[in-house]
Structure 1
Amino acid sequence: MEHAASDEQITAICRLMYNNFQVNAQFVNAQLELLSGSGGEAHAANPLHSTLRESLVQLNIEAAELNYPLIQSLNELENYVIVRIEREKMRVGYVIFGPSAYSDISVDAITGFLNDYNVPANLKEAARDYYCSLPIISGFKLLHASVLLYYLIYGKELNTLDVLHHRALFSEDEHVRFERHIDKNLSDQRETTALHHDVELEKQLFQSIKEGRTEKLRELANFDPKNLGILSKSSYLRSQKNIAIAGITLATRAAMEGGLHSEIAYTMSDLYIQHMEELTDIQSVVKHRTEAMIAFAERVKQSRSEKYSRVVAECQKYIYNHIYEELTVATLAEKVRLNANYLSQLFKKEVGIPIHSYIMREKVEEAKKLLTASELSLSEICARLNFYDQSHFTKIFKKLTGVTPKQFRSY
């Protein structure tokens, strides 16, 4: 088992973290009493909490486990990294890295939050100053900072993806309960609303739902550094509910595009939105929004796996994972240990198109992503996806989309 650094080393680590990120780092004992800090220009204490201990209790700091850093948000406005300190199987304290914010917090968001929590008038100005002065550190940068902090304390390098997956935003029991509820209930009522936010983030999020890519979706949904806007200036809670409802509405459409039966998709939408309206705190709303999106992706993934035989599903998975390689029927037949002619017949019978046509369709889908999200030239995209030449690439792309790659990029 890893052994934590000494108290003196942890004090030095706190200073290093502050010097590199301009975010406070503090070392507290098991009773949540301050032992040492970063020694830098300390960020003002949250005026809504009378003591450091009060802030840490609200963070649910004791949920931090030994093997991973814990990344927590308080009121969805300020973020913290918590590393549990153990020596000889005894918990001796915690290192707290924070507070920070993903991006500048708007005055409207702060005002709505203060109204939701009935903050006394004499504390509102100090609270606004506090939230406006939080150091900015993006979600992905915070993730890497958590891995660095853990390494400095325990000398063990963690995979950022493992840390991300460990940061569960909803319990498995709650998820299973909702899945059963979805299977048993149908509803005809739906709510929709409009949402203004980052277009590229939306494309990535809802493309992941459409493709049933739950792991990618967890990565995007857990760390969303973009400002999604304020849809209710009077209440931050209402604003987050509106954002969540809009996200669920878009997720419903993406799931149907991914092959999920419309009745199932609408039922899920109904139930998640209905439950959303019953929630009374911001963290539960954000947690529920993420739960809903991942549930849609999982349902798409499930429906796709049930739609095709194991052999065909395995071929589709291989094509997806090796889209930048040269793909042939012979290669796929070797992977699934079937005769190439038999595999071709089986694939066309289940999917409706020949394997070669399916491969070309998937390559064009990947090309569309590269045309939208990268600055690669057409010749570079053509080469990466193993088309014969640019003329062949353009011909196939136009056949499947109705426009040339150049026209698609200009839209």
Structure 2
Amino acid sequence: MKNDKEFSLEMKMETTMEHNNHIASIKSYSKMIGTLLNSSTFYISPKLEPEGHLVSVLRPTEVEENINHILFGGILNSIDENTIYSVCDSFNLHYCVLKLDNNEGFFAIGPFLTSKVTTETLVNILEKNNIDQEKLENFNAYYQELNIITFERLYHVFSYLINTYYLKDMKVVPISTLHINNRLLKDSLLHKGNKEELLTDVIKQRYEAEDLLLNYVAQGDLEKAANLINIPYNIKKYPDTLNMKKNFLIVENTLFRRAIQKSGVHPNYIDHLSSSYMNKIDKLTTIDKANIMKYEMLVDYCNLVKKDSTINYSPIIKEAIHFINLNLNKNLTLKAISSNIAVSSQYLSTLFKQEVGQSLTEFIAKNRMEQAIYFLKESDLSISEIATEVGYSDLNYFSKVFKKHYGVTPSTYREEVVK
């Protein structure tokens, strides 16, 4: 048996591993976004050590110095969490910076342009920064290589980052713009401008409805959740495109996954359903199918809670249920289950019937059949392979039990019901 020190060390190691995996995912996202936007993107650690995707453009020395001060200088430590900062410097170059939650560093994009820069504008930029006009040609070549990115597009990038990696919908001021004077940059601090007040009654109602929806999902209450499924996931009206639909489905999948973690559903089941929908969302080809999937996803998450929630069971029964569902393809006997969770067979049998309302044998058979239905619908496994996956070595016996539950053989179910 582990002592407190060993347990504490193990927990600390698990937390560190989780943290490292989380940061690795954000770094990967940074590189992916950099490629998509054709702009330099960075993950910057709390110690201001940058790592990211660099666009290979030869920068003028003066611009390089500016970038280093904005993105990698102590200036970042003065910004607040949950606010997207749009920084505009004296070269009319733009950057977007977000301080990540839990002291996990920063996510930054830049430099980039928000509109085309004319030769006349460049002349003024050089003059403002006390740079010789002889360098106009070099600066012009540099600006021609920079990508033009809209703030709307950037908001999507940052919103997806928060929704996916911090499991929450973005409730922040979309853009807080700051103008940095290059000549004063080294001695300056980054100060926010006045925030636009967004907490109107409409927005409050939206978030209240969203919280209510997620509570119903966590309870597995499909009827009540269905009445709220059409609340908007963003206040601003976005184009009704397939990509936008996919983005919102990804957000909903993340929020539903997070909601049912409170319901005592085993993390393996949650991860399986969540990953399944990520694949389905990726393969969507029409807006109509995306609209339908929204409801299918709600149904599946609510049903998962109703089927696999163990929140009201004792720790022993929770362990037994999780062991059964993770080993449906094995020979599940009362002795094997009770031995695994270190209780007597008689005690487990009595307690299981008392709390679950059915015997262990009935529970195992029911869950095996439900798993078989899943494989028939979602996989290309043969009937024989499915029988083995759900713990039946005898194909004929499997078909007989299946027909007793559903009125048809597995083959007929796949041919007539699924297709």
TM bin (shorter chain): 0.3 to 0.5
TM-score, normalised to structure 2, is 0.41
TM-score by length of 1: 0.42
